[in-house]
Amino acid sequence: MAGVYLVFDERFQYVNSTFAGMFGYTQEEFVGTPIRDLVLPDFVGQAMEYYRRRMHEGVSSIRYFTRCRHRDGHVVHIEVHGSRVDYRGQAALAGVVIDVSERVRRDQDLHRSRRRLRELASYLNSSREELRSQLAREVHDVLGGMLSSIKLDVFRIQRRSSGPALAEIQEITQELLPLVQDTIDTARQISDELRPRMLDTLGLVAAIRSELEAFGRRNEILVGFMMEGAEPELSAETATQCFRVFQEALTNVGRHAQAETVEVRVRNRDGRFEMQVRDDGKGIDRPSMREGSIGMLSMAERARSIGGSLYVHARAGGGTVVLLAVPGYRGPRSNDRTADR
Ligand SMILES: Nc1ncnc2c1ncn2[C@@H]1O[C@H](COP(=O)(O)OP(=O)(O)OP(=O)(O)O)[C@@H](O)[C@H]1O
Ligand SMILES: [Mg+2]
C-alpha cells in the first residue's frame, strides 16, 4: 500500500488516504499543504532541490529518501518516487511514497547491536589479557619464588643430615628434590601458557616459532615456517594481539581441521605485517559454523583493535587459511615492548 501524491506549485493537490494516514492527517487536510511543511527542516533544502530538478531541469524522474514529521511529532522515514506529469495543461509532480521507518529502525537496531557485540568482544579480550598477565606474573614471581625457597631448604636439610641415623632423611629429601623441580617446571609452564615470556624478551616471531614447534610435537602435525622481511617492529599491544590470533588459529587447526601439515607465513613488507596460518585439512564450512563459538569473533575483534583485518577462507586445494594483516609500527621497539604492561 503506497502513498500517492500530486504536487502543483510546491503544494499537495491530491494525496490518497494511505499517504495522508502515514503522517496522521486526512486527505482533505493535505490539500494545499506546502511540501516544506511536511519535510523536516534539515531535509527541506534537499527535497526542494529535487523538486526543482524535476520541474525545471528536465530530470523527469527521481527516487530518494527523506524524513518527515508525523502529526503527533514522531519522525517518518520515507522513500519518494516522483515524475513530472501534465496537470491541467501545466507541469506538476506525481508519484508514490513508501513508509520505510520500520526498515530504518531495524537497520539502526542491527547496527547498534553489532556495535555492542564488538564492544563486548573487545572488553572480553582486554580483560582476559589483563587477567592472564596478572596470573602469569603471580605464578612466575610468587609461586616460582616460593618453590625456589623450598628447593634451597631441601638442599640445606640434605647437607646437614649426614651420619647413619639420618639416612632416612637423606632418602626422603632425595625423593623430594625431583618433585620440587617438577613443580617449578610446571609453574613455569603454566606461567608461559598464560603469557609467554618469549613474547616480551625475544619478540613475536620467536614466540610464534616456538609455539608452532610445540604444537607440531603435541599434535603430531608437520609444521613449516616462512618469513619474509625483517622482524616487525610492533607495539607490545599489537604483538600480543597478533600472538593471540595466531594461538587461536592454531588451536582451531588442532581441533577442527584434521590436517597433516600447518604452515605459518610471516611477512613484513612495505610497512605492513602479515601472518598466515595455512592448513591442509578438511576446510572451513561457513554455514556449519557452530553457534556460540567465539574464537573467530574474538580473532576478528583482536585484529580490529589494532587497526588490522582478519580474513578466513578455504584454500583451493583443501584446507583453510587464516590471514591477519596489520599496518606496521615504526616506533622504538625496546622501550615500547614494556610500556603498556
Ligand atoms: N582450521 C579449520 N579447519 C576447519 N574448520 C575450522 C577451522 N577453524 C575453524 N573451523 C570451523 O569454524 C568454527 C568456528 O571456529 P571458532 O574458533 O569460532 O569456534 P570453536 O573453535 O568451535 O570454539 P571456540 O569458541 O572455543 O573457539 C569451528 O567450530 C569449526 O567448525
Ligand atoms: Mg576456536
Q: Mind listing the pLDDT tens digit of every residue in the chain (341 residues)? A: 799 999 999 999 999 999 999 999 999 999 999 999 999 999 999 999 999 988 888 787 889 999 999 999 999 999 999 999 988 899 899 999 999 999 999 999 999 988 888 888 888 888 888 888 888 877 887 787 788 888 888 888 877 776 665 777 877 788 888 888 888 888 888 888 888 888 888 899 999 999 999 999 999 999 999 999 988 888 888 999 999 999 999 999 999 999 999 999 999 988 899 999 999 999 988 766 666 677 888 898 899 989 999 999 998 889 999 999 998 655 444 343 333 33
Cell numbers of 76, please? Answer: 517518518
Ligand 1: does its nearest atom lie under 6 Å from the Cβ of 294? Answer: yes
Pocket of ligand 1, candidates 221, 244, 252, 276: which has the most ligand atoms within 8 Å of its Cβ, to mutate?
252
What's the Cα-to-Cα distance from 218 to each of 12, 183, 186, 221, rounded to whole Å?
A: 77, 21, 17, 8
Name the residue with the closest Cα to ligand 1, atom 17.
295
DSSP annotation of 231 = P
Strands of the sheet containing 309-314, edge to edge, are: 222-228, 261-269, 272-279, 320-327, 309-314
CA 130 to ligand 2 centroid distance, Å: 20
> Hey, whose CA ends up nearest to atom 5 of ligand 1?
284
The ligand with the least distance to the CA atom of 312 is 1
In whole angstroms, give the CA distance from residue 96 to residue 78: 10
> Pick from 101, 102, 95, 104: which is nearest to 19 by CA?
95
Q: Which atom of ligand 1 is nearest to the CA of 312?
A: 8
Amino acid identity at 64: Y
